[in-house]
Amino acid sequence: MVLDDLGSSLRGTLDTLQGKSRLSEDDVEAIVKEIQRSLLSADVDVSLVMELSDAIESRALEEEPPGGTTARDHVLKIVYEELVDLVGDSTELPLESQTILLAGLQGSGKTTSAAKMAWWFSKKGLRPAVIQTDTFRPGAYDQAKQMCERAEVEFYGDPDAEDPVQIARDGLEETADADVHIVDTAGRHALEDDLIAEIEAIETAVDPDRSLLVLDAAIGQGAKEQASQFEQSIGIEGVVITKLDGTAKGGGALTAVNETDSSIAFLGTGETVQDIERFEPSGFISRLLGMGDLKQLSERVERAMAETGDDDEDWDPEDLLEGSFTLKDMQKQMETMNKMGPLDQVMDMIPGMGGGMMDQLPDDAMDVTQNRMRDFEVAMDSMTDEELENPRVIGQSRVERIVRGSGIEEETVRELLEQHKMMDQTISQFQGMGDGDMQRMMKKLEQ
């Protein structure tokens, strides 16, 4: 994830301030140095780094921490605000009819992002269509078509046509019923004159409402030149940063945003059509600083709930806080978790779990967890309603029947029952909390 290193190194430095109520000049200098080091090693442009660190330094020295605030929280707030300011607001994307043009070098993730964005708009209730005008890269047509099928969105392309401008025009006509048109364009390995001429011609033909530049998070200092070239030729309203699931540093993309005086529209976090997030500056920086991104998490939960909710309308997560926690509740929870996406991404959004904590787990730990969840689900499918509602009735002979019915090993079935018991106990603790405790906990999470 972008600037991950900043989050963890900064937390380390901030931890040394624990217990202090005032910051000395040395403290501020140490923090600012750490921020500079992390940003520079993440490929953020030097002048941007200086601007940011100057602002943090003067605010940390001049502003009085509000009463009751520790020096650590005060400085964290300043760093947070300045970073939010640096990345800026997300690109405005009204949920209405529009044409979006995607530009970028070959391999930056344009085609993938086109399908992902179409999926995103379709989930918002709009009717998107992707128009593939890339006649340069063999395979671009098939790739786009397949991804759009997976995203269940309309697609237009013509593998036999040679003129991208004509494809764009035909595409807009053929998909006239759609409300959001996403026009994917060809890239080249480098910025070449013919690429620029082609995209200018397409831009004139489709007259987009906004043009977005797609950048691989791994892009380094080259981002500046690329961004300014595209900015000059077609005008860039927003940036899509892809491959944030990798080890990329991402600083170059921030530089590009600054260079084009634009903003970030979307983040790409994987290879499937659902791996896209609308950029939310505050959530993004909270996550970066290891504060967890509650807003993103709750959006994912809501989306997953909406999808799982269809077949069991009686199930309400709030019921968890009342009455007993059954295996059925646990099964629902697992379905929801599965729909929210890869467990490690979900964990990254939970306060206290993100910011490199997952890196400390062995690589296969998450796979094991996901395989285990699948086994649990299969075992539960072999249980009767009575057993799901009241797992206490499951004795040895019932365990043996479930093992025979599901083909899941006895050890795993026992682990499932054990896990349920643990979750049940945890939830009972929540139930015992008074409203005041609950409010304090929520407040803490929101900070």
Count interface residues toward ligand GDP (CB under 6 A).
19
Q: How far apart are CA 103 and CA 283, in angstroms?
A: 26
Nearer to ligand GDP, 108 or 326 (CB): 108
**What is the closest distance, in whole angstroms, from the C-beta atom of residue 111 to ligand GDP in the complex?**
3
Tell me: is residue 186 an annotated ligand-binding position.
Answer: yes
Does the annotation place 185 within a ligand binding site? yes
Residue pair 86/48 in contact (Cβ under 8 Å)? The answer is yes
Does residue 386 interact with ligand GDP by CB under 6 A?
A: no
Beta bridge partners of 102: 184, 212
Q: Could you say whether residue 268 binds ligand GDP (CB under 6 A)?
A: yes
Distance CA 353, CA 119 (A): 28
Tokens describing residue 108: 């930056």
**Contact flags string 176-205 toward ligand GDP, x per CB under 6 A:** -----------x------------------
* Distance from the first to the final alpha carbon of the chain: 22
Is 132 near ligand GDP (CB under 6 A)?
no
In the range 223-242, which residues lie near ligand GDP by CB under 6 A? 242
Write down the least CB distance from residue 242 to ligand GDP, Å: 4
Nearest-angstrom CA–CA distance, 181 and 146: 17
**β-pair type (128-132, 154-156):** parallel
* Choice between 246 and 309, CB closer to ligand GDP: 246
Shorter beta-carbon distance to ligand GDP: residue 119 or 376: 119
Q: Is 261 annotated as a binding residue?
A: no
User: Which is closer to ligand GDP, CB of 132 or CB of 258?
Assistant: 132
Cβ proximity to ligand GDP, 28 vs 244, nearer residue: 244
Q: Closest by alpha carbon to 278, among 269, 288, 289?
A: 269
- Of 243-251, 320-328, 331-339, 356-364, the segment contacting ligand GDP by CB under 6 A is 243-251
Nearest to 71 by CA among 150, 15, 133, 144: 15
Q: Between residue 304 and residue 323, which ones bind ligand GDP under the rule CB under 6 A?
A: none
Between 147 and 379, CB nearer to ligand GDP = 147
Residue 112 touches ligand GDP, criterion: CB under 6 A:
yes
Q: With binding defined as CB under 6 A, does residue 269 bind ligand GDP?
A: yes
Cα–Cα distance for residue pair 205/231, rounded to 1 Å? 18
Interface with ligand GDP (CB under 6 A), residue from 31, 38, 79, 109:
109
CB-based contacts of 232: which residues, under 8 Å, 6+ apart? none
If one asks whether residue 249 binds ligand GDP (CB under 6 A), the answer comes out as no
When the beta carbons of 49 and 114 are compared against ligand GDP, the nearer one is 114
Does residue number 272 form part of the binding site for ligand GDP (CB under 6 A)? no
Nearer to ligand GDP, 164 or 391 (CB): 164
Query: Considering only residues 142, 225, 271, 312, which one is a binding residue for ligand GDP as defined by CB under 6 A?
Result: 271
Q: Which of 107, 222, 281, 356 binds ligand GDP (CB under 6 A)?
A: 107
* Ordered strands of the 263-268 beta sheet: 154-156, 128-132, 180-184, 98-103, 210-216, 238-242, 263-268, 276-278
Residues 168 and 206 sit within 8 Å (Cβ to Cβ): yes
- Output the smallest distance, CB 45 to ligand GDP, in A: 23
The reply to whether 211 sits near ligand GDP by the rule CB under 6 A is no
Find the shortest distance in angstroms from Cβ 291 to ligand GDP: 23
Nearer to ligand GDP (CB atom), residue 111 or residue 262: 111
Is 314 among the annotated ligand-binding positions? no
Residue 63 lies near ligand GDP (rule: CB under 6 A)? no
Nearest-approach distance from CB 145 to ligand GDP, in angstroms: 13
Binding residue for ligand GDP, selected from 81, 245, 299, 377, defined by CB under 6 A: 245
Q: Which residues are annotated as a binding site for GTP?
A: 104-111, 184-188, 242-245
Q: Rule CB under 6 A: which residues touch ligand GDP?
A: 104, 106-112, 143, 187, 242-243, 245-246, 268-271, 275
